[in-house]
Amino acid sequence: MTKLGIILASARPNRVGEKVAGWVRDAVPADVDVDLIDLREVALPAFDETTSPKAEQPKTTVHAVSWAERIGALDAVVILTPQYNGAYPGALKNAVDFLYAEWSELPTILVGYGWGSAGEVLPMLETLMTRVGADVVSSIGLGFREDLSVEGELFVAEEKTATLHEQLTAIASEVPVSVS
């Protein structure tokens, strides 16, 4: 069974990300195991490892080991990010920076939300994820007014929902099935 991570990047108390995560979860094929990863709950400190993740040395902190194991167990990931001041939240950048090998070739779908359908943040996040070796498959932007209210009420067009479902189905079908 494919294991899909859905990373909720906003750590703000008044976020609408949980509702966007629900929209993504509803589009996931039934035969896919989902790990909802809330960065507010993960609560990684500012990067504090003794070596660069790119050096591929053993992690030295409990939180880095735990984070690496959680992402390393995934077959694919959807990263949900708000667009804050034209960029992604610091918690997301920090979470990405803790790892390197775990992102390598990981099929990744980016879902951004905010004003202008997250048109500024999605290219930035794609650049970041490509730099750490992730296989960025696609991105979808949700806009305030067009797809959701600033309070989080969703009214996403059926075409976007269908596109997301197709992308999730495609990455789930391309993931090799492990034989025990």
- As a whole number, the mean pLDDT across the chain is 94
d(CA 108, CA 78): 6
Name 142's bridge partners.
Answer: 113
Residues 118-160 have pLDDT tens digits of 999 999 999 999 999 999 999 999 999 999 999 999 999 999 9
pLDDT digits (tens, 9 = 90+) for 78-121: 999 999 999 999 999 999 999 999 999 999 999 999 999 999 99
Every domain of the chain and the residues it spans: 2-174
What whole-number distance in Å separates Cα of residue 76 and Cα of residue 171? Answer: 7
CATH topology for 2-174 is Rossmann fold (3.40.50)
Let me know: does 36 contact 65? Beta carbons within 8 Å. no
Q: How far apart are CA 128 and CA 121, in angstroms?
A: 11
pLDDT given for residue 166 in this prediction: 96
Global pTM reads 0.94
Q: What per-residue confidence (pLDDT) applies to 176? A: 57
